[in-house]
């Protein structure tokens, strides 16, 4: 039975630079990259060498500790460089794109007509499994476990987030194929959560073999963790799989056509992007970003983020799109000195934004603003302010949980709900916290301890 939830907690950060609902083709990238850092905890075992040819959908590397989880090339081309960091850690596997496209082809199949093991083995062998993540731990799902349910959020509530209704319009058939495959992986339900504030696209509304729920409220209403917490909470020993809607389409296309399709529609947003360039671009997973943002920026002193401004990763202008990202955000770099009387800490703040009502701008909460990356202060004592509780719509105590992680108290972590959360769920807590502590990093550290000691 479907449910509806209205959140009372949260925070919407209104940023300038929303993308117009116009789809365009991005320039064909000359190079793409697979970044092992996109997959937390992964140690890649590369099976191809520099200079070797690769087809679209051909395996490039696998997980050293789980050989069944394979990662495939999004394009046809040549392994041009395996970029390594300290201790020879692999940072990027760069692939030069060939002029002609050649894909690994398998026989299409209706996932509804085959067994769970056949669906799972098909996804594992053809690079589809990395699209499936799990809670707890917020990492690539363990293929040996059976989740009690699967969650797909049909909307994103983060700042300047892409509109999945617009992105998936017309993809009903492939989306349903993907849902049919996912339904085989669980004994429970596949849950699609719609935005309770308005109507959703037919792609979501008409989905079959699923449970459709609605949630409304401020960010993080669109986070899948928030939805799991309110519709099907996780206890110790339980697992829930999660996916992005575009990734469900990718899985559905593979079963329907027998080829790995790495195409992705990405929203280019942010106040530092020319208004005429803020659109939705059809590109490829791992594409170099200059094929999208080149010539579109208003100035050079910017931060390019693969993802949203709260949880995305900062990349160079010629960096590469993250594996899970459908969003590029460009905001001002906050590295310029501000005169303390006019723009600094003694200024009246008529052009500043604060979630704490420190400035008069709290009277215009719906006004969109140009915000930079400046922390406006250094790291300081971690004190109780009550601000985190206002933006976290979970029935947990965020301050106490973070402190338990900082002192490595595993029992307290478990009792305070660490199995339910992911770093992105605490992004707003990090934003409003006066301590300037990197709270999302602390949450990840806590999850790593839980994985090592309790899983």
pLDDT above 70: residue 2: yes
Average pLDDT of the chain to the nearest whole number: 94
CA dist., res. 245 & res. 207, Å (int)? 12
For the chain, domain boundaries = 24-97, 107-257, 387-454
Residue 237 gets the label, from left (phi > 0), alpha (psi -120 to 50) or beta, of left
Q: What is the pLDDT of residue 199?
A: 77
| pLDDT (tens digit per residue) in 39-95 | 999 999 999 999 999 999 999 999 999 999 999 999 999 999 999 999 999 999 999
| pLDDT (tens digit per residue) in 190-201 | 999 999 988 788
Contact 74, 56 (CB under 8 A): yes
Q: What is the pLDDT of residue 336?
A: 79
Residue with tokens 């701008």: 361
Query: Concatenated DSSP letters for 370-388?
Result: ---S--SS--------SHH
pLDDT above 70: residue 1: no
1 burial type by CB count under 10 A (0-12 exposed, 13-18 middle, 19+ buried):
exposed
CA 421 to chain CA mean position, Å: 14
Angle between helix 172-183 and helix 245-257 axes, rounded to 10 deg: 90
DSSP state of 355: T
pLDDT band of residue 135 (cuts 50, 70, 90) is: very high
Edge-first strand listing for the sheet containing 59-63: 44-46, 59-63, 66-72
Contact 420, 233 (CB under 8 A): yes
DSSP state of 159: T
Q: What topology does CATH give the domain 24-97?
A: OB fold (Dihydrolipoamide Acetyltransferase, E2P) (2.40.50)
Residues 118-130, mean pLDDT to the nearest whole number: 98
Q: What is the pLDDT of residue 86?
A: 92
pLDDT above 90: residue 347: no
Contact 91, 83 (CB under 8 A): yes
Q: What is the pLDDT of residue 375?
A: 85
The token pair at 197 is 């504030």
Residues 185-209, mean pLDDT to the nearest whole number: 92
Residues 3-19, mean pLDDT to the nearest whole number: 95
pLDDT above 80: residue 343: no
Give the pairing of strands 90-97 and 31-34.
Answer: antiparallel
Q: How many CB atoms lie within 10 A of CB 357?
A: 9
Q: Residues 6 or more apart from 158 whose CB is under 8 A from it?
A: 219, 220, 222, 308, 309, 310, 311, 327, 427
For residue 365, the number of C-alpha atoms closer than 13 Å in the C-beta half-sphere is: 6
Q: How many CB atoms lie within 10 A of CB 282?
A: 13
pLDDT above 80: residue 355: no
pLDDT above 80: residue 132: yes
Q: What topology does CATH give the domain 107-257?
A: Rossmann fold (3.40.50)
Q: Which residues pair with 408 in a beta bridge?
A: none
Contact 146, 186 (CB under 8 A): yes
pLDDT band of residue 340 (cuts 50, 70, 90) is: low
Instruction: Using alpha carbons only, give the angle 410, 221, 184 rounded to the nearest 5 degrees.
Output: 75
Query: Concatenated DSSP letters for 47-82?
Result: -S-TT-EE-BT-EEEEETTEEEEEEE-SSSEEEEEE
Residues 116-124, mean pLDDT to the nearest whole number: 98
Residue with tokens 């993308």: 19
Q: Kindly report the pTM of this predicted structure.
A: 0.95
Give a three-class secondary structure readout of 19-42.
CCCCEEECCCCCEEEECHHHCCCC
| pLDDT (tens digit per residue) in 13-38 | 999 999 999 999 999 999 999 999 99
Q: What is the pLDDT of residue 261?
A: 97
């Amino acid at each position: 039975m479907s449910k509806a939830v209205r959140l009372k907690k949260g925070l919407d950060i209104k940023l300038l630079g929303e993308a117009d609902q116009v789809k365009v083709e991005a320039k064909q990238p000359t190079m793409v990259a697979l970044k092992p850092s996109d997959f937390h905890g992964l140690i890649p075992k590369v099976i191809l060498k520099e200079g070797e040819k690769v087809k679209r959908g051909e395996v490039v590397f696998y997980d050293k500790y789980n050989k069944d989880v394979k990662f495939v090339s999004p394009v046809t081309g040549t392994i041009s460089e395996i970029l390594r960091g300290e201790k020879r850690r692999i940072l990027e596997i760069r692939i030069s794109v060939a002029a002609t496209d050649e894909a690994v082809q398998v026989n299409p199949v209706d996932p509804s007509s085959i067994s769970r093991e056949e669906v799972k083995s098909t996804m594992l062998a053809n690079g589809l499994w990395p699209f499936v993540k799990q809670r707890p731990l917020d990492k690539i799902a363990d293929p040996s476990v059976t989740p009690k349910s699967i969650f797909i959020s049909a909307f994103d509530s983060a700042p300047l987030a892409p509109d999945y209704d617009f992105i998936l319009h017309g993809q009903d058939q492939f989306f349903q194929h993907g849902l049919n495959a996912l339904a085989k992986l669980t004994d429970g339900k596949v849950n699609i959560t719609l935005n309770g504030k308005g109507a959703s696209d037919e792609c979501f509304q008409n989905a079959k073999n699923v449970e459709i729920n609605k949630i409304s409220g401020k960010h993080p209403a669109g986070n899948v963790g928030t939805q799991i917490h309110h519709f099907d909470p996780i206890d110790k020993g339980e697992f829930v799989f999660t996916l992005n809607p575009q990734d469900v389409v990718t899985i559905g296309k593979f079963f329907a056509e027998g080829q790995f399709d790495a195409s992705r529609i990405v929203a280019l947003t942010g106040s530092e992007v020319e208004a005429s360039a803020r659109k939705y671009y059809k590109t490829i997973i791992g594409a170099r970003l200059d094929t999208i943002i080149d010539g579109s920026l208003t100035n050079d002193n910017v931060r390019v983020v693969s993802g949203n401004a709260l949880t995305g990763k900062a990349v160079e202008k010629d960096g590469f799109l993250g594996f899970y990202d459908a969003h590029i955000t460009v905001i001002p770099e906050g590295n310029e000195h501000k005169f303390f009387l006019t723009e600094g800490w003694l200024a009246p703040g008529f052009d500043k934004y604060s979630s704490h009502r420190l400035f008069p701008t709290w009277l215009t909460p719906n006004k969109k603003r140009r915000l930079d990356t400046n922390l406006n202060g250094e790291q300081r004592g971690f004190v109780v302010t009550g601000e985190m509780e206002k933006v976290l719509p979970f029935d947990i105590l965020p301050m106490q949980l973070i402190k338990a992680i900082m002192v490595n108290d595993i029992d307290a972590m478990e009792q305070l709900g660490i199995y339910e959360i992911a770093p992105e769920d605490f992004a707003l807590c990090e934003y409003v916290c006066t301590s300037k502590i990197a709270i999302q990093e602390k949450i990840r550290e806590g999850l790593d301890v839980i994985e090592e000691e309790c899983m």
